Amino acid sequence: MREYLRYRPFRLNPVNITLIYLVLGFIWIAFSDRILENMIADPVAAFKRILALVHAYRFRRKETQACGELAVNYPECS
C-alpha cells in the first residue's frame, strides 16, 4: 500500500507544510498591499461600491424575509 509513496518526489510532512506556510505567508505580507493598490485606483469609490453592495444585500434579505412570512397577502412575492 505504501509503494506509491516511495515514488512521490515531494511529501507533505510537518516540516514541508511549515515551509510552505512560511513562504506563502511571506509572499502575502510582502505583496498584498501592492496588489490591492493596483486593483483599486480610487479607495473612496471602492468603499462606496462596497457599501452599496452591502445595502443592496440587506434590502434584498429583508424583502425575502417579508415575502417568506407574508406570501399569501402579496402575490408579487410568489
Give pLDDT tens digits for 23-52.
Answer: 999 999 988 888 887 777 887 888 888 899
pLDDT at residue 72, as a whole number? 52
Cell numbers at residue 58, please?
Answer: 440587506
Task: Give pLDDT, residue 70.
Answer: 54
Cell match 445595502: residue?
55
Confidence at 18, pLDDT banded by 50, 70, 90:
very high
Cα diameter, the chain: 68
Please give the average per-residue pLDDT across 52-61, as a whole number: 86
